[in-house]
Chain A
Amino acid sequence: MILVVNGKEHAVKVDPETPLLWVLREQLGLTGSKFGCGEGLCGACTVLIDGAPQRSCVTPVKDVQGKRIVTIEGIAADHPVKKAWLAEEASQCGYCQPGQIVAAVALLKEKPRPTDADIDAAMSGNLCRCGTYGRIRRAIHTAAGTGGKP
């Protein structure tokens, strides 16, 4: 099976029902996408599939063959969202943050100048046990000024 992850093609041999998350983490060594719930309830595993945010823990790998998959590792270090995350010091333990950032990148692509309601709607499926929501909200607003490319 061929996966296109962060612009690179990878041939993987795996049970086609395996959730994409575990293929990324265990076969491709891309451990930035996190496991938090395995049920699509927390957003820690969020990746972009053809530009749209998806929970990779409930996405069978067979469904994403040939699609463009972008993980946290595929978002440039100087991406406005990552820069804003650093400026606002959004991270605490950091475990949820890759998923938060990927979700924010997708939001800003869809809505370059999101309102607080837009942020609530797009981000409320990304849980953070450390409660960094206020800073995430600020970081999204900060990044919005500078636009976001996926």
Chain B
Amino acid sequence: MSANQGMNRRQFIVSSALAGGGLLLACQLPFGRRDLLAATGSAFAPNAFLRIAADGRVTVIVNKSEMGQGVYTSLPMLVAEELCCDWSMVAFQASPVAPQYNRVSAPIMVTGGSSSVRTEWERLSLAGAAAREMLIAAAARQWQVAPSQCRAENGAILGPGGKKLGFGALAAKAAALPVPKKPKLKGGAGTLLGKPLHRLDSPAKINGAAIFGIDVSVPGMLTCVIARPPVFGAKVKAFDPAGALALSGVRQVVAVDAGVAVVADGYWPALKGRAALTIEWDEGDGAALSTPSMRAEYARLSETPGLVARREGDAAATLASASRRFDAQYEVPYLAHATMEPLNCFVDLKADSCLIRTGSQFQTVDRDAAARAAGLKPEQVTLETTFLGGGFGRRANPDSDFVVQAVQVAAAVRRPVKVIWSREDDMRGGYYRPMWHDRISACLDGRGMPLAWLHRIVGQSIVAGTAFEKGMVKDGIDRTSVEGAADTPYRIPNLQVELHTTKSRVPVLWWRSVGYSHTGFVMESFLDELAHAAGQDPYHYRRALLKEHPRILKVLDLAAGKSGWGAPLAKGRGRGIAVQECFGSYVAQVAEVSVDVKGEVTVHRVVCALDCGKVVNPDTVKAQMESGIAFGLSAALYGAITLKKGRVEQGNFDSYPLVAMNAMPKVEVHIVASVDPPGGVGEPGVPPIAPAVANALFAVSGIRVRSLPLTPENVLAARPGKA
């Protein structure tokens, strides 16, 4: 999921040729302003992204999934800015799955990689501009004046002598005009862009009206839960459905690839039916997996050279002749996405069609996988995107697990069916952020700055074995395994980063901020160690190593300044700093932390500075930083998925806790004013928080925790003189 490339003009024209109308989807889909949409007769459909009705109402068709980040507001803002419409007349609608809604320059529809605004800015601006030019042309024609004498403002075209016509009145006439091949952006100061507009989807979300995948329902629908293997890779040997079938409300018990599916009138009878099943599993070798032995194996591997991902100078030779070297091993565990809405998928499969309603981040991939599972052609499958109760990467699975499973169930029952995952199913179902082991050795020059850094990374590849392997693995190196380390901006003259890619039955997946969630913690923690070893201030130490990176320096300075870096703190509190460049943005965070004698860490305050280039909506950007910090903090303080005899030891929020209201620090977000191209915001808030907290913990206590999470157990074990 790489950075954006500019928009391809041909693609825009092709999009523009899409026929108008016919795009209003079933009412289960997310849409804003129910009243507005009902009235949208779509008098004017200049391109794939925009509809204007005869009454002037504007519908922006959004090709990105709404999972909290606010795309149903930010993307319409991009269109509306250039269209010069009346914002109060704007509604949104989820796009269907079609090539014109693919990610710019990619063959699939996808929401991920913090890329929505980055990739859509130009295409949606041009979509709005094209429609504006057509409305102007329609008005000019009607008034018999030159288009240059007219302009668009707040939903109307204004002409000479006080002439004025609303967009609605012009819609039908504009629709008859040719679509401009090269629409001109109006440029200048934005009327909408950069303003903290209210979210269009908030009313539906606070009234319980927003339809998430789990809320989908049609008459006659059945509900299903699946008994999945107790260990990864296990297979059903035999099962007895009698106990389940004897219960009222249970309709059918069927074997599917994922396990044994219990289909019932509702979730409760399905759950009871599942509990009444007898299943004999062939556990295979999956039952041998255990976290302690995996950790030991990773540690052993880290002693041996891996594939070289980056080489500058000669780190090994420099280290060999160093008078003093610093060695450390870092570990981070598997993590579950734990979206608040557990996985689910609705499928209505007929002989020659398949309707899917679910919260997907990966629509084209899921649709095609569904087609294969159903024995249909992709064009026979309709996938409608609902609201997503969180995504974080889990709903962008190259294996389309939750969709394929539901299609298989639907094929067996031939009735509309919704598969719901319990929280435990969701947490134990795999596709975790990989666990990692890092071994680093470094030495310093005469001024205390890093002279050599030898870094070995051990862990699973996210994309190995998927359709993305070809594009993302080069010479055996999955770039998501080493991003943030191999491309570190710190100036280190002798740098070597190596990778051991391990294989395991435990399925892994991108997890909000992908590789940076791991490397950010390791790099920023170990750099902090070196700063302290050199007797230097961690903030100034970083500054000295980032001289050629003005944008990183700016957020570093901003976060330090706003946090009062260097000023005395309340007794028992320490500050830690960390910075990360990722997804085209720059984030620095300063955390203020205390720790009690039992090793309990409290985070009191987080100051966050962000440079994400041009901003569409500063309030949703701020919200994404707050969100990334909370998400990263849950992982830093509590998060770990562990295995015992192949079984995942966590199941629900008691064993896999999230930061709650009483543990949430005060968060301040400062955004750098910028005219640079837009960067991502969904993920960059995550990586700095764990190292900022760990560094603050060291500052206040002298305890350097190198294994996440920062549980009292790990904190006490890391006390100096322990280990």
Identify the A interface with B (CB < 8 A).
Answer: 15, 17-19, 22, 25-27, 29-39, 41-42, 44, 71-73, 77, 82, 85-86, 89-98, 101, 119-121, 123-137
Contact = CB atoms under 8 A, between A and B. Distances in A.
Given A38-B423, A92-B68, A131-B631, A73 B340 contact: no
Interface centre among B202, B340, B342 (most CB of A within 10 A): B340
B206 A98 contact: yes
B248 A93 contact: no
A74 to B, nearest CB: 9
B667 A129 contact: no
Given A34-B214, A36-B423, A97-B206, 14 more contacts: A15-B248, A22-B267, A31-B217, A42-B653, A44-B340, A72-B207, A91-B206, A92-B69, A93-B391, A95-B339, A120-B661, A129-B631, A131-B630, A131-B631
A8 to B, nearest CB: 15
Contact of A86 (B206, B209, B248, B626): B206
Contact of A94 (B205, B342, B422, B423): B205
Interface stretch (B282-290, B346-354, B360-368, B382-390): B382-390
A37 B652 contact: yes
Given A130-B627, A134-B666, A37 B206 contact: no
Contacts of B631: 129-131
7 tightest Cβ-Cβ pairs between the two chains A and B:
A32-B208, A131-B630, A94-B205, A95-B389, A93-B68, A92-B68, A31-B215
B13 to A, nearest CB: 35
Contact of A132 (B391, B623, B652): B623
A129 B658 contact: yes
Interface residues of B, number: 65
Interface string B60-96: 0000001111100000000000000000000000000
A41 B388 CA distance: 21
Contact of A95 (B269, B390, B667): B390
Nearest to A43: B660
Contact of A98 (B199, B208, B654, B661): B208
Given A31-B215, A41-B653, A93-B387, A128 B340 contact: yes
B626 A89 contact: no
Interface string B380-419: 0000000111111000000000000000000000000000
Nearest to A121: B662
Interface centre among B391, B661, B664 (most CB of A within 10 A): B661
Contacts of A44: 340
Nearest to B223: A26
A124 B660 contact: yes
B623 A92 contact: yes
Interface centre among A89, A101, A119, A123 (most CB of B within 10 A): A89
Interface in B415-461: 420, 422-423
Given A77-B207, A86-B206, A15 B269 contact: yes
B445 to A, nearest CB: 41
B206 A85 contact: yes
Interface string B619-654: 110010011111101000000000000000000111
B507 interface: no
B207 A123 contact: no
22 contacts: A15-B248, A31-B215, A31-B217, A34-B389, A41-B653, A71-B208, A73-B207, A89-B198, A89-B199, A91-B202, A91-B206, A93-B67, A93-B389, A94-B201, A95-B340, A120-B662, A126-B660, A127-B653, A129-B390, A129-B658, A131-B659, A132-B623
Nearest to B623: A92
B211 interface: yes
A88 to B, nearest CB: 10
B340 A134 contact: no
A36 B423 CA distance: 7
Contacts of B630: 128, 130-133
B708 interface: no
B212 interface: yes
B210 A22 contact: no
A29 B217 contact: yes
B423 A39 contact: yes
B306 interface: no
A99 to B, nearest CB: 10
A3 B267 CA distance: 19
Contacts of B557: none
B326 interface: no
A128 B659 CA distance: 8
Nearest to B667: A134
A131 B423 contact: no
B203 interface: yes
A131 B629 contact: yes
Interface string B190-224: 00000000110111111111111011010000010
B147 interface: no
B207 A130 contact: no
B387 A94 contact: yes
Contacts of B206: 72, 82, 85-86, 90-91, 94, 97-98, 101
Nearest to B205: A94
Contacts of A85: 202, 206
Contacts of B666: 134
B143 interface: no
Nearest to A87: B198
B712 interface: no
A110 B423 CA distance: 31
Contacts of B202: 85-86, 89, 91, 94
Nearest to B630: A131
Contacts of A27: 266
B664 A134 contact: yes
Contacts of A89: 198-199, 202, 619-620, 623
B661 A37 contact: no
A15 B265 CA distance: 12
A36 B341 contact: yes
Interface centre among B268, B338, B339, B626 (most CB of A within 10 A): B268
A19 B268 contact: yes
B722 to A, nearest CB: 31
Given A39-B654, A135-B626, A129 B339 contact: yes
Contact of A22 (B205, B266, B619, B661): B266
B249 interface: yes
Contact of B341 (A34, A72, A82): A34
A98 B70 CA distance: 18
A122 to B, nearest CB: 9
A126 B654 CA distance: 13
Contacts of A39: 423, 652-654
Interface in B155-210: 198-199, 201-210
A37 B420 CA distance: 12
A37 to B, nearest CB: 5
A36 B211 CA distance: 15
Contact of A133 (B70, B205, B653, B664): B664
